Amino acid sequence: MSLIVVPESASTLGSVRTRERRALVGLILILAPPLLTACTATEPAPPEPTGLVTYPLPEDWVGMAGLKVGTLAFVDNCVRFDDGDIPVFPDKLTTWDGTTLTFAGEEYRMGDEISLGGGSPVEGATVSIPIPKTCGNGIVIIVSPPSRAER
């Protein structure tokens, strides 16, 4: 059996490196949880209802043939018809500033009569924002964009 002699300077260097590694591991253990939490994907909070319910208008949209004629009303923070029906407008063609509804370039105020093409939602249809419960239980009408010839 042979005896290995390690000079003191090499032994000291090894213990310094060991301490450095331990310090680095400790630092990683302290910093890792907050960094990992920051990288965790969380579901974004849904936007606050603005009073206007919309749906994402696909590029290859096709209009629906139904016709809804009624008077616009803003009731319980919801743009709807005065009979309680709830229009769901195409998002790319509709804005609402709290007093004026602009749809396909035309401006409407609450109390105005409006004629809209559309129909009931098909199964599996989605809206950009949930229909607020305050809108009531009226019939949901998916508003069709005007025909491409009208635009």
Residue 151 lies in a domain: no
Residue 110 lies in a domain: yes
pLDDT at 117 exceeding the cut of 60:
yes
pLDDT at 123 exceeding the cut of 80:
no
Residue 100 lies in a domain: yes
pLDDT at 6 exceeding the cut of 50:
no
The residue to which tokens 């063609």 are assigned: 93
Query: Is the whole-model pTM more than 0.75?
Result: no
What residues form DSSP beta bridges with 108? Answer: 101
Q: How many domains does the chain have?
A: 1
Helix (H, G, I), strand (E, B) or coil at 147: coil
Residue 27 backbone phi and psi in degrees, to 5 = -65, -40
14-68 residue pLDDT tens: 555 555 556 544 444 455 454 444 455 566 554 444 789 888 888 777 666 789 9
Residue 20 lies in a domain: no
Domain range spanning residue 80? 54-143
Residue 70 lies in a domain: yes
Q: Exposed, middle or buried, 73 (CB in 10 Å: 0-12/13-18/19+)?
A: middle
Residue 106 backbone phi and psi in degrees, to 5 = -100, 140
